[in-house]
Chains A and B, each alone.
Chain A
Amino acid sequence: MPLVGTPVPRLEAPDKVTGAACYVDDFALPGMIYGVTVRSPGPRGRIRRIRLGDGIPWEEITVVTARDIPGDNVVALINDDQPCLAAEVYNHAEEAVVLLAHRDRALLERARRQVHLDVEPLPPVLTIDDALAAREVIWGTDNIIKSYLVEQGDVEAALREADLVVQGEYETGAQEHLYIEPNGMVAVATPEDGVTVWGSLQCPYYVQKALMRLFRLPPERTRVVQLETGGGFGGKEDYPSMIAAHAALLSWKAGGVPVKIVYDRTEDMLATTKRHPSRTRHRTGLRRDGTLVALDIDFVIDGGAYSTLSQVVLSRGTIHAAGPYRCDNVRIRGRAVATNTPPRGAFRGFGAPQSLFALERHLDVVARAAGLPPEELRRRNFIRRGERLAVGQQVRDGVDLPALLERALQVSGWTERKNRFRQENQRGTIRRGLGLSCFLHGTGFTGSGESHLASTVALEGTAEGRVRVLTSSTEIGQGTNTIFSQIAADALGVGGEIIEVPRPDTAAVPDSGPTVASRTCTIVGKLIETAALSLRQQLLEEGLLPLPYTTGDFQAACAAYVRQRGALRATARYQPPPGIHWDEVRFRGDAYGAYSWAVYVAQVRVDLCTYQAQVEEFWTVQEVGRVVNPTLAAGQIEGGVAQAIGWALYEHVAWQEGRMANCRMTDYIIPTTMDIPPIHVWFEEAPYPYGAFGAKGLGELPMDGPAPAILNAIHDALGVSICRVPATPEVIYDALSREEALV
């Protein structure tokens, strides 16, 4: 019986419900000592001297500074501009400068407080406006890390000729991932045996690449092993390379003693990455009938002090900025700027939530200006199969956006509720509203990314007649292990009980790419499907497998093959779908192999006494290709919506001099059970031929749509347009009192 499409229970769940699962904080090696990090005191400055204070037995403590790095002092990623340890200058608060290790953690803490950094502060750049003004230049020649321009048609002419032009400015704040497991690593490193690290991470080969550069080691002597990982959301995409490097440097200097660094919550919040803050300006031209004739979009994200992944976050954000609509005249200028704040990194959605927030919020403003219901404006402008997105990509998916919209309106009881709220809102201090958003999310890496990655997976038959699925794709809660085993089992035509998905270890698995970009199921899964077919073919060609066959037959064939021929192994390597072309220079073409599409509806209640907005009910309708595991998929949608509700209403990072001031769970507010409403999940399935069993990307999609739907609902409830997230009660109060002042 096929497993794809069925709710196979999570494979590693038994370990998770019994406490047996081993996370980095649970992992220990004999003789292991602990490492801590001494960090920069302010947003920008020169390091004059490092002084070790009194009263500490320094001779017992391993002390590492930039001078101890055997190779290049960079965290290798894209531009290699981020040092592993600040040497002469620091460019953001809480930048790592000195590392200490000792077995006694209490002594280590005293020692940390006795490392004094004599510094000369320099004027910092702290906001997008400061960065663009470039009075202080902290990155390149103009503080601009990267810029992109998408252009089609003639925007200026179309705006001149439009019947109506509507402008708006939208802002989104930083967001902390707040995985419940803080970051951590254990390392053993010596010049003789190389470096091995174990830890909480999403992308084993990213960590390996960084360590190779730092220690000048070949890949075979740089081993990265993932441990059970307590949530990632992008927050364990690039920063684990930094912590792995720190732990390894300490171990290297301490003569190969295992070193563990686990951040506490405050350090994790202060030092690790956040979602990029953004500011988007829209100028939109329409015809009288509501047809969009011009979209002029200026999208800026704040990348923080080093470039990390900002350019790829920017490219996704830029491409998604025009949403699922057709428009002949589009100009999208995307820029990522540098500021003296801790570098921003990957976070579920990867730039798309920011630019889609601006667009979908703006379209409600536009609809009001045009005198159209928000759903009608969208309906009139939806892109259809065969038409081209702003980057010139022809839509090949079997998408039917009007049908998704109809379904969302129908399941949410849109019209009936709207009418009811209009009545009820006349009385009392509670206002209710409905809002919607329509959006898309590109599957896998942007542009030529997947071709450059050239991901590889391997399937291995064992002498016991079992099949091992070897990939570097990590289980971080989303269900990688389970869906991989479903895909492999179905492609092989066997039961799931003979499939094993070992934990990623760079010494044992091929590089199937990072666990990011909603690519695991669809792209890596497709490679598994391909490799499985090839493995099966080998058995068939050897005449070991009868047709039809049972799982038992397959096991026997597999065992026989290994006995007779040695290793049974099949690999598959990524090939782009036919007809896909991306022009990186002109930034045009097929940005993604496929898109997932969605319409979300939020019902919001605003209390005029406290100005608190709460989501009361949430409806999601999405087309994500084939759903491999409905329970896990629904879990992704519900979890993503919850995280996006947090971003929309609660999660405010309070910056003070470029440092997160509310760096505790008590003060950085994520939703509890009492803040998350019923979330309804509907999947439409239009199989995508180049994704595993028809699957498209899924994990990031639910992060894109909720914020604009929720703020549109607030607009509906209050008649006041709020153009920034998080829409905290303070923001809503300020907006209402501005409105009152105008009256």
Chain B
Amino acid sequence: MRFDVAAYKLRTPQSVQEALAWMAAEPGALRPLAGGTDLMVLLAAGKLPGGQFVNLWPLRELRTIEVTSDSVTLGALTTYSDVQAHPVLQQEFPMLVEAARQTGGWAIQNRGTLGGNIGNASPAADSPPALLCYDAELELRSAQGSRWLPYHGFHTGYRQTLLRPDEIIARLRLPRRRGQRLHCYRKVGPRQAQAISKVCFAGCADLEDGRLVSVRIALGGVAPTVVRCPETEHILAAATSPAALDEAAARASLSRQMAPIDDIRSTARYRRRVAENLLGQFVAVLRLHPGWATP
């Protein structure tokens, strides 16, 4: 046993307000604990710094999925299993569903939460690339109130975020979009299930009236944070026909937006090449999309 529970204090609030009040009273002293799928691993490994935690898991108000005509709002405690089961997410946000399906095993999916996945800020996390592509927004809440920010830009460096010490991630909002959208998500891990990504690719493209109106691409596992790849998006979005999709230029630009490393899970070389290949697959799917105007 590498840990001593006496080094920790875990307080269970009755409400979100109470949790936030505690966090406001001692800024930085209390860290949020949701489904435990990251923090409890560190605990057992003897690597969880001692101190106080606030037990968010019982706060049902943070585990809701609300659908309105223009958005889906997910409580931060929405689990991967919740995501997979939701019909609107299945229909309109399949990359998020796919990410949830491929995160850990079933027992992890029952406990791992979207808020935790974002807050844990691993560059190899599975859902963030999908969330980036879907233009997710985050609600950060503190005793002072709440603020909404675009998810893009939330991760400021390796394991660094814009979350203040007195804030929790409360909700995520995904704007709904009607019309033809192409989704392409692929996680590359060391095995077919229960794996940590080496590279994770999410790409979507919107077609209107036979034209490409927007392309979004995000990658995990190739930089200190998950990254959006605007340069590559612009190159592809400029195409007016399938033939005009400039794969070579897109690949070259993608490579410039990555900073992969060698570690115990893979090599920089491999990550770079596979990310490019996944982009190549995305381009191939995009070319074949029936939504293009027939010349």
Tell me the A residues contacting B by CB distance below 8 Å. 105-110, 264, 266, 429, 608-612, 614, 650, 654, 661-662, 664, 666-667, 669, 671-675, 728-730, 733-734, 737
Contact = CB atoms under 8 A, between A and B. Distances in A.
Contacts of A729: 188, 190, 198, 266, 270, 274
B192 A614 contact: yes
Contacts of A733: 269-270, 273-274
Interface-centre pick from B3, B264, B267, B277 (highest chain A CB count, 10 A): B264
Contacts, number: 77
B202 to A, nearest CB: 15
A654 B190 CA distance: 14
A109 B2 contact: yes
A264 B46 CA distance: 12
15 contacts: A106-B1, A106-B3, A108-B1, A110-B4, A608-B277, A609-B278, A610-B277, A612-B188, A667-B196, A669-B191, A672-B192, A673-B193, A674-B193, A730-B269, A730-B270
Contacts of B6: 106
Contact of A675 (B41, B193, B267): B193
Contacts of B15: none
Interface string B101-133: 000010000000000000000000000000000
Contacts of A611: 270, 274
Contacts of B4: 106-107, 109-110
B5 interface: yes
B281 A429 contact: yes
A647 to B, nearest CB: 14
Contact of A610 (B46, B188, B269): B188
Interface in B9-59: 41, 44-46
B193 A730 contact: no
B193 A109 contact: no
A737 B266 CA distance: 16
B191 A672 contact: yes
B190 A728 contact: yes
A650 B280 contact: no
Q: Which 4 residue pairs of A and B lie closest in terms of their CB atoms, listed nearest first?
A: A106-B4, A674-B192, A674-B193, A654-B264
Contacts of B265: 662, 667
Contacts of B191: 650, 669, 671-672, 674-675
B196 A666 contact: yes
Contacts of A664: 45
B71 interface: no
B28 to A, nearest CB: 25
A554 to B, nearest CB: 50
Given A610-B277, A669-B190, 19 more contacts: A105-B1, A106-B1, A107-B4, A109-B46, A266-B45, A609-B278, A611-B270, A650-B190, A661-B264, A662-B264, A667-B265, A671-B191, A673-B193, A675-B193, A729-B188, A729-B190, A733-B270, A733-B274, A734-B269
A3 B52 CA distance: 61
Contact of A106 (B5, B194, B266): B5
B222 to A, nearest CB: 14
B195 interface: yes
Nearest to A733: B270
A610 B201 CA distance: 12
Nearest to B274: A610
B193 A672 contact: yes
A190 B190 CA distance: 49
Contacts of B3: 106, 109
B194 A672 contact: yes
B138 to A, nearest CB: 27
Contacts of A672: 105, 191-194
Contacts of A662: 264-265
Contact of B277 (A105, A609, A730): A609
A608 B278 CA distance: 10
B188 A264 contact: no
A144 B145 CA distance: 70
Given A429-B281, A669-B190, A730 B45 contact: no
Interface in B148-201: 188, 190-196, 198
Interface string B265-290: 11101100110011011000000000
Interface residues of B, number: 32
B266 A730 contact: yes
Contacts of A669: 190-191, 195
Contact of B280 (A609, A667, A734): A609
Contacts of B44: 264
B71 to A, nearest CB: 33
A593 B56 CA distance: 65
B215 to A, nearest CB: 19
A538 B192 CA distance: 59
Contacts of A650: 190-191
A465 B188 CA distance: 61
Nearest to A673: B193
A655 to B, nearest CB: 10
B95 to A, nearest CB: 17
A105 B4 CA distance: 8
Nearest to B2: A109
A497 to B, nearest CB: 39
A654 B2 CA distance: 23
Nearest to B270: A730
Contacts of B105: 672
Nearest to A669: B190
Interface string B224-264: 00000000000000000000000000000000000000001
Interface-centre pick from B1, B193, B266 (highest chain A CB count, 10 A): B1
Contacts of A108: 1
Nearest to A662: B264
A570 to B, nearest CB: 48
A614 B192 CA distance: 9
Nearest to A428: B284
Nearest to B196: A666
Contacts of A609: 274, 277-278, 280-281
A643 B42 CA distance: 28
B167 to A, nearest CB: 29
Interface string B43-83: 01110000000000000000000000000000000000000
A662 B196 CA distance: 13
A733 B280 CA distance: 16
A555 B277 CA distance: 72
Nearest to B265: A667
A730 B271 CA distance: 9
A608 B281 CA distance: 11
Contact of A730 (B5, B194, B267, B281): B267
Given A264-B1, A609-B278, A675 B192 contact: yes
A473 to B, nearest CB: 33
A715 B46 CA distance: 44
A106 B2 CA distance: 7
A667 B5 contact: no
B40 to A, nearest CB: 13
B270 A264 contact: no
A733 B198 CA distance: 14
A733 B267 CA distance: 11
A728 B5 CA distance: 39
Contacts of B190: 650, 669, 728-729
A669 B192 CA distance: 11
Nearest to A646: B191
A611 B269 CA distance: 13
A458 to B, nearest CB: 41
Contacts of B273: 733, 737
A737 B270 CA distance: 11
Nearest to B44: A264
Contacts of B196: 666-667
B274 to A, nearest CB: 6
Contacts of A734: 269
Contacts of B266: 729-730
B276 to A, nearest CB: 10
B277 to A, nearest CB: 4
A614 B190 CA distance: 11
A672 B194 CA distance: 8
